[in-house]
Amino acid sequence: MKISAYIIAYNEADKIRDCINSVLWVDEIIVADSHSNDGTTEIAEKLGAKVFHIPFKGYGDLRNQAISNCHGDWIFSLDSDERCTEKVRDEILLLIKNAPLDIYRVPRKNFFMGKWIKHSGWYPNFRQPQLFRTGMMSYDLQPVHEGYINHSNKVIGQINNEIWQFPFKNIEEVIYKANRYSTLGAEKLLADGKNGTVMKAFFHGIWAFIKHYIFKLGILDGGAGFVIAFGNFEGTFYRYLKLAELQANWKPPSTKPIQKIK
């Protein structure tokens, strides 16, 4: 059984080396790159990865194109801010020898602001299933927070060991991602027929903060938990505010030429 690992990336020169190094044990490494200009491509190729430059049309499309370039019997999905561990490697290699299922979720352990996060909805943390037989899974075409499509007639399993995730290298990246994802999220809400107002933005944002800080026990993660909850407030608030902006199409009044009084 051969394994392909695919990684999606855009200007991830600071992260791509460690990400690729964590999956050197697979048979093929594919990097789906949206035309990085910071050296990501060169680093990936030097480490033996096959790089495919794909124009960004949303994360769902990017992932589908990535798996279309994989040739292994199994596909392992890893984002540039994620790291495989030796325990996960060993579990996967043992599992695929006689796997009873076709698709598996992979738990993630997050490191943020100098500590491993134990609450805040970040542990254990999952995204789409990350290990699957070729042809058994694809993605929908949502621009962000893309879903997956199960092509198997079996239930979805879960491996036991965790990969590591380093979601933000610094606070500047927290702000950058909140801005980028809120823009894509607003477009998704618009396509879904949702309506946005300033008050909706505020109340959705407040609920996102309360959910992560109180109900998901972010308060127990100290300062990092507060930042995570506040970041969810910001991302949600600006997503709905940008939706309102798209729908209202706010424009300044036109300015007429004002002539000199004679």
- Tens digit of each residue's pLDDT (9 = 90 or more) over 4-16: 999 999 999 999 9
- Does residue 145 surpass a pLDDT of 90? no
23 in the same domain as 137: yes
What pLDDT does residue 69 have? 96
138 in the same domain as 45: yes
What pLDDT does residue 249 have? 83
**Taking the alpha carbons of 111, 116, 119, 120 in that order, is the dihedral positive or negative?**
negative
- Tens digit of each residue's pLDDT (9 = 90 or more) over 77-127: 999 999 999 999 999 999 999 999 999 999 999 999 999 999 999 998 999
122 in the same domain as 144: yes
- Quick check: is 132 in a domain? yes
What pLDDT does residue 177 have? 87
- Does residue 251 surpass a pLDDT of 90? no
157 in the same domain as 53: yes
8's tokens: 């999606």
- Does residue 42 surpass a pLDDT of 90? yes
46 in the same domain as 129: yes
218 in the same domain as 158: no
147 in the same domain as 107: yes
Chain centroid to CA 104: 17
pTM for the predicted model, two decimal places? 0.85
Last residue within a domain, chosen from 165, 182, 211: 165
Cα 200 from Cα 241, distance rounded (Å): 8
Instruction: Tell me which range, 72-76, 138-142, 175-179, is most confidently predicted by mean pLDDT.
Output: 72-76
CATH number of the domain that residue 69 is part of: 3.90.550.10
What pLDDT does residue 236 have? 96
Average pLDDT estimate for 120-139: 95
191 in the same domain as 221: yes
Q: Are 255 and 198 in contact (CB under 8 A)?
A: no
- Quick check: is 255 in a domain? no
- DSSP string computed for the chain: --EEEEEEESS-TTTHHHHHHTTTTSSEEEEEES---SSHHHHHHHTT-EEEE---S-HHHHHHHHHHT--SSEEEE--TTEE--HHHHHHHHHHTTS-S-SEEE--EEEEETTEE--STT-TTB--S--EEETTSEEE---SSS--EEE-SSS--EE-SS-EEE---SSHHHHHHHHHHHHHHHHHHHHHTT----HHHHHHHHHHHHHIIIIIT-GGGGHHHHHHHHHHHHHHHHHHHHHHHHHHHT--PPP----PPP-
**Residue 111 structural domain:** 3-165
User: Total domain count for the chain?
Assistant: 2
242 in the same domain as 144: no
Higher pLDDT, 105 or 169: 105
What pLDDT does residue 262 have? 80
